[in-house]
């Protein structure tokens, strides 16, 4: 990969910086079961990469429940996620080294995630990355979440870098589509609990982990 074609690197968060997808599945399974909605962790493959409000609305339409509104169930899930991240969160292999390399070599670094700000703060504090990004943005603040490109376009605009000079690092199909729709190159490092997904082949490049990406990018 020719690093000279990029001025900014924009990271997704869940499944890219932190191995949070298993934690999401635990939090959601417990929360949905609390309202009598028995959705398994395998079922959640259908909603990977969506904002939590979109996930909850999807399953409310599919299965339905009583007792809590969608907004109240979102709050339950987020509270569980924050606690799980603080107790179990660790950076994925190569993340710290990659961010250090990018900062040392003058790249602008952004974060564009579907997660809400409360979880972003918990993850960055837990991973000790609170000062690592030039701009942090949540799709919570956009009308549309991924696969819509809005979150990535906003990050590029705030970094003052043309989308075509940005490289996105993603782990899910919805995220890859969002980055490509923003006219950015997209590296995909598939989250390991996802079923193999041939659709991820649309990414500009696929790697097994961040360390492999860094080795190629720094050549």
14 catalytic? Reply is yes
| In contact, 123 and 117? CB cutoff 8 Å | no
The boundaries of the domain holding residue 43 are: 21-88
Q: Say whether pLDDT at 133 is over 80.
A: yes
- CA distances, 125 to each of 26, 86, 144 (Å): 21, 9, 27
Q: How many CB atoms lie within 10 A of CB 205?
A: 14
Q: What percent of the chain has pLDDT over 70?
A: 99
- What pLDDT does residue 107 have? 98
Residues 80, 55 within the same domain: yes
pLDDT band at 47 (very low <50, low <70, confident <90, very high): confident
Whether 184 contacts 152, CB under 8 Å: yes
pLDDT surpassing 90 at residue 6: yes
Domain at 76, CATH number: 1.10.150.240
Q: What is the pTM of this model?
A: 0.88
Considering the domain architecture, whether residues 206 and 122 belong to the same structural domain is answered as yes
Q: How many domains does the chain have?
A: 2
Q: What are phi and psi of 73, to 5 degrees?
A: -70, -35
User: Per-residue pLDDT for 196 more than 80?
Assistant: no
User: Which residues 6+ apart lie within 8 Å of 68 measured at CB?
Assistant: 35, 76
Residues 99 and 194 in one domain: yes
CB 165 within 8 A of CB 181: no
* Residue 2 falls in the annotated catalytic set: no
pLDDT, residue 195, reads: 60
163/201 same-domain check: yes
60-71 residue pLDDT tens: 999 999 989 999
Torsion of CA 162, 187, 201, 192, to 10 degrees: -140
Instruction: For residues 198-209, give the mean pLDDT.
Output: 95
State whether 35 and 126 are in the same domain.
Answer: no
Residues 62 and 12 in one domain: no
Q: Which residues contact 194 (CB under 8 A, 6 or more apart)?
A: 21, 45, 48, 171, 172
Same domain, 102 and 162: yes
Residues 14 and 78 in one domain: no
Instruction: Please say if the pLDDT value at position 193 is more than 80.
Output: no
Does residue 96 share a domain with residue 84? no
pLDDT in tens, 9-35: 999 999 999 998 889 889 999 999 999
Dist CA 179 CA 200 (whole Å): 12
Which candidate in 2, 7, 14, 209 is catalytic?
Answer: 14
- Assess whether 147 and 165 both reside in one domain: yes
> Is residue 75 located within the same domain as residue 7?
no
Q: Report the pLDDT value the prediction gives residue 40, as an integer from 0 to 100.
A: 82
Predicted local distance difference test score (pLDDT) of residue 44:
85
| pLDDT for 194 | 63
Domain boundary, last residue among 88, 109, 135 = 88
Q: What is the pLDDT of residues 154-172, one digit of tens each?
A: 999 999 999 999 999 999 9
Question: Do 77 and 26 sit in the same domain of this protein?
Answer: yes
Beta bridge partners of 111: 11, 136
The one catalytic residue in 12, 43, 53, 197 is 12
Confidence class of residue 42 from pLDDT cuts 50, 70 and 90? confident
């Amino acid at each position: 990969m020719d690093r000279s074609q990029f001025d900014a690197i924009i990271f997704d968060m869940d499944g890219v910086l932190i191995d949070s997808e298993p934690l999401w599945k635990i939090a959601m399974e417990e929360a949905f079961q609390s309202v009598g909605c028995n959705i398994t962790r395998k079922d959640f493959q259908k909603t990977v990469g969506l904002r939590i409000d979109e996930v909850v609305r999807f399953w409310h339409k599919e299965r339905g429940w009583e007792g809590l509104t969608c907004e109240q169930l979102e709050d339950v899930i987020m509270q569980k996620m924050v606690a799980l991240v603080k107790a179990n969160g660790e950076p994925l292999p190569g993340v710290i080294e990659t961010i250090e390399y990018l900062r040392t070599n003058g790249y602008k670094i952004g974060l564009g995630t579907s997660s809400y700000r409360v979880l972003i703060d918990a993850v960055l504090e837990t991973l000790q990355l609170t000062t690592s990004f030039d701009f942090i943005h949540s799709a919570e603040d956009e009308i549309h979440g991924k696969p819509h490109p809005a979150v990535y376009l906003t990050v590029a605009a705030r970094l003052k870098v043309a989308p075509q000079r940005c490289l996105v690092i993603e782990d899910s199909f919805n995220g890859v589509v969002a980055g490509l729709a923003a006219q950015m190159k997209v590296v995909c490092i598939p989250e390991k609990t996802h079923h193999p997904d041939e659709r991820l082949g649309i990414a500009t490049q696929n790697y097994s982990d961040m360390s492999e990406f860094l080795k190629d990018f720094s050549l």
